[in-house]
Structure 1
Amino acid sequence: MSHILLIHSSVHGQTVKICEYMKQKAESQGVKVTLATLADNPSVEGFDKVFIGASIRHGKHRPALYQFIEANKEKLEAVPNGFFSVSLVARKPMKNTPETNMYYQAFLKQSVWQPQVQEVFGGNLDYQFYGPVDRNIIRFIMWITKGPTDPHTKVEYTDWDKVDNYVQRMIDA
């Protein structure tokens, strides 16, 4: 039985929700999964596979993600690995793949690591959950990108069938 380390970097919790779902799905197939937050700087030692999921905040992945990757590049490359990004931009059909998502492409350019199993998932939009500053910034971004701006909007853009597919790719890696 393989043992997967699944690391998450999340701001508002959707990436954590996706990782918890992935853990449940993989474990239902007999795979052991350990969840860890990037903030705890987890050790990648002793795992057969390592996967990382990170959300976008104001158009960028967090600097800690790149620091972790730089510090663990050789260990990441020594085992089957993968990365997925979670963003509201990925709600759009022409921006929901690693090849077409500008944030994922920026990640690949900035990162010293090129993950083997790659994916992009839509995030969660919940204006009432955000603080006033984030709410206004996100509403402005959504206005620019022709998304919902009603301050009572709550919609999850995560395609769970796509997540299921990624879990299978993660297991098969």
Structure 2
Amino acid sequence: MPNTNDDKPSVNSLVLLYATREGQTLRIVEHMQRCLQQAKVPVRILALDACHDWPCQRHEMAVICSPVRYGKHLPAAQRFVKKFGKHLDDKPSAMVSVNLTARKPERSTPNNNPYLKRFLNQNGWQPVLQAVFAGALEYERYPWWDRLMIRTIMRMTKGPTTGGQKYEFTNWSAVEHFCDQLVMLLEEKA
């Protein structure tokens, strides 16, 4: 598991809390960690499934990162937000949704992404910052049933259906821009 560069209390530190299935969300989170470390922000990464207690006592901000699978964010993200919703409201927080729908410009922002909007409405949570990033598609990593279902969805949405290669849709510049927004927010709160 990725480690922290500083466990001491900090007014302008954060924790990146993630769920992942095939690993693209973790890659995004690790990229965020590198960007934030370059900006001298103390940051650590934790898997949402490993959080049995509120993990952010020493951190100014929590950033929840979860992919969407079959139209829903992973259960670990749902459980975390339901369990710790009050804590998330007590401090500035952020949400990152990773989904293939975001590969389309008309679904790539928090205001126009149906999965993020539904997740936040269902949980009654309004994070200060929100982001939507397109994920990746690698058919060979999926069990045969998932491959069949995802190909069907991709065919309907005019996405790639050919196996044998990885389709990466993540806009890394957008990830870096989001990190810049996190840094600005932390500086305002300091």
| TM bucket, shorter chain | over 0.9
Deviation at 1:71, TM superposition (A): 1.7
TM-score, normalisation: structure 1: 0.95
The answer for the alignment partner of 1:84 in structure 2 is 96
- In 2, Cα distance between equivalents of 1:56 and 1:117: 18
Which segments of structure 1 move beyond 2 Å, counting only runs of 4 or more?
A: none
CA shift digits 1:128-155 (9 cap, x unpaired): 2222121111111101111111122421
The answer for the alignment partner of 1:167 in structure 2 is 179
CA shift digits 1:100-134 (9 cap, x unpaired): 11111111221121111011000001112222121
Give the alignment of 1:23-172 within 5 angstroms: 23-41=33-51, 43-172=55-184
- In 2, Cα distance between equivalents of 1:73 and 1:168: 25
Deviation at 1:63, TM superposition (A): 2.8
Give unmatched runs, 5+ long, in structure 1: none
Contact 2:64 2:77 in 1 (8 A): no
- In 1, Cα distance between equivalents of 2:147 and 2:71: 14
Q: CA RMSD in A?
A: 1.3
Q: Secondary structure at the match of 1:34?
A: strand
TM-score, normalisation: structure 2: 0.87
Query: What is the count of residue pairs matched by the alignment?
Result: 173
Identical-pair percentage: 35
Q: Secondary structure at the match of 1:51?
A: strand
Give unmatched runs, 5+ long, in structure 2: 1-9, 186-190
- In 2, Cα distance between equivalents of 1:77 and 1:140: 39
